[in-house]
Amino acid sequence: MEPLAPCSSLVDRFLEHLLVEKGLAQATLAAYASDLRRYVDFLAARGRETFSEEDTAVLLEYLIRLRAEGLGSRSRARHLVSLRSLYRFLLREGVLAADPAARVDPPRIPLRLPDTLSLAEVERLLNAPAGDRPAGLRDAAMLELLYAAGLRVSELTALRLQDVDLASGFVRVLGKGAKERLVPIGNPAREKIRLYLEQARARLLKGIPSPFLFVGRAGKPLSRQGFWKRLQAYARAAGIERRTTPHSLRHSFATHLLEGGADLRTVQILLGHADIATTQIYTHVSRERLKELHRRHHPRG
């Protein structure tokens, strides 16, 4: 077994492994780095300079500290995922002889159903961008595609021109972990994208070349924050009072597919989930919908 190195250098080594060998996105790497630096600071405050096979009690103490600082169960579970990944890496690399995190159970996470819009609300939202102004045509195409393909907002804003095939009705998406998937899109999305390309994109670019499909200023892709703000305005204009985010349309996409008879495996593929357990949250939504329909329409409901 190799001599134990300082915590910070081992964390750097692990992050390099995630970047080079796992190909994780920068946002995911930043989340790992933030979680692990916080843990290293916690160890340093206790006079610890490196990791150990005997860290199980320290990990439990750390999770208790996070709860005392007000972190919810989901945030604490995410921290533990980061720490488990680190300790497994150190075990594989021969830095440690045992994995102390393997004996630490994750916090119990209460079931939280995703925010889902009704079909009527989705219809009103997608029709909210009106007129023929370039930004409005772009926003209409973005909203329609977000719902049609169940995209994450980061996937939507990163799309390039060659990623959309209007003739065949497919969009190529680069998801988490740099994994590609092909997602079909319907005629409404194809028509709004075609209208945007023909009447708005060049007017927005003003002669500046750009490889991105949905552009903002200076040929750059519209930012996630910029799109989020515009979505909020359209939701208000559509009379939607509940909280509405780009993920609301992704959740609605999955829920409406299941309610329409799609199987869970198909929805998993379309969403780009690596684990079908992630997709199973939507079965709870569908069951709640079934219960509501039964209550409203059955004579003994």
Does residue 251 carry a catalytic annotation? no
Cα distance between residue 128 and residue 161, in whole Å: 25
The owner of tokens 């208000």 is: 236
**Which of 41, 175, 22 lies closest to 85, judged by CA?**
22
Would residue 234 show up in a list of annotated catalytic residues for this protein?
Answer: no
Catalytic residue among 76, 190, 250, 251: 250
Residue 275: exposure state from Cβ atoms within 10 A (0-12, 13-18, ≥19): exposed
Distance CA 37, CA 89 (A): 16
User: For residue 191, what are the CA distances in angstroms to 117, 145, 173, 224?
Assistant: 23, 10, 19, 23
Q: Cα–Cα distance between 156 and 159 in angstroms, integer?
A: 6
Please give the single-letter amino acid code of residue 180.
E
Choosing from 76, 79, 138, 152, which is the catalytic residue?
152
Q: Which is catalytic among the residues 79, 190, 192, 273?
A: 273
Query: Is there a catalytic annotation at residue 282?
Result: yes
14 sits in which H/E element: helix 7-17
Neighbouring CB atoms inside 10 A of 175's CB total 19
Active site residue 294: no
Task: Say which of 176, 224, 284, 289 is annotated catalytic.
Answer: 176
Catalytic residue check, 87: no
Distance CA 148, CA 183 (A): 9
Q: Is residue 62 flagged as an active site residue?
A: no
Choose, from 17, 172, 181, 247, the residue flagged as catalytic. 247
The residues assigned a catalytic role are 152, 176, 247, 250, 273, 282
